[in-house]
Structure 1
Amino acid sequence: MIQLQLYSTSHCHLCEEAENILEIIGKQHDISWTTIEITEDANLYEKYSLIIPVVKRKNYNTELVWPFAINDIEKLIDLK
């Protein structure tokens, strides 16, 4: 199973769109993701506050910064 992280914050409509994309992809591919609330960590907030949502593939440390689409995430999870 491919593990992703979604860096996000509450009341972020773009983050909600990103989660919807992940849900669609999750029906077609063997993935799981954890949503990480960036406001709970000062370092994460500093790093991601202006660029969220961000999807990160954990074992490759590869990130996608918004805007991204289904095909972008499919490329991310297809890394060998």
Structure 2
Amino acid sequence: MPDSRVVLYSRAGCHLCDEARDVVVVECERADAGWDEVDVDADLGLQARYGEYVPVVEVDGVVQGYWQIDAGRLRSALAG
């Protein structure tokens, strides 16, 4: 599992995932936080867990949002 504070669970061809990635990049750069992206379709367990909820963003193992990622909420979670 990734070692970064932020994990973006996504899948290929997902326009919401592209939008979420943009938010994650900006907010992680602002907070100087590392992030990883995980393709849920590469793992049957993740595929079953997240299904149609992608994108999903976690900070320190806690889900902060899915589908449309709120920059303010992510920023608050990173501020701790």
- Asked if Structure 1 and Structure 2 have the same fold, meaning a TM-score greater than 0.5 normalized by the shorter chain, the answer is yes
Q: Percent identity?
A: 24
Structure showing the higher helix proportion among its residues: 2
Structure 2 stretches lacking a partner, 5+ long: none
TM-score by length of 2: 0.84
Partner of 1:54: 56
CA-CA distance at 1:78 after TM superposition: 2.0
Structure 1 stretches lacking a partner, 5+ long: none
Cα RMSD of the aligned pairs, angstroms, is 1.4
1:1-80 map, 5 Å: 3-58=5-60, 61-63=61-63, 64-79=65-80
SS of the residue aligned with 2:5? strand
CA-CA distance at 1:30 after TM superposition: 1.2
**Contact in 2 for aligned 1:57/1:76 (Cα 8 Å):** yes
User: What is the number of residues matched between the two proteins?
Assistant: 76
Q: What amino acid is the match of 1:54?
A: V
Moved over 3 A (4+): none
TM-score by length of 1: 0.84
Once residues 30 and 40 of structure 2 are traced to their aligned partners in structure 1, the CA distance between those partners, rounded to angstroms, is 28
**Contact in 1 for aligned 2:23/2:69 (Cα 8 Å):** no
Once residues 43 and 28 of structure 2 are traced to their aligned partners in structure 1, the CA distance between those partners, rounded to angstroms, is 27
SS of the residue aligned with 2:31? coil
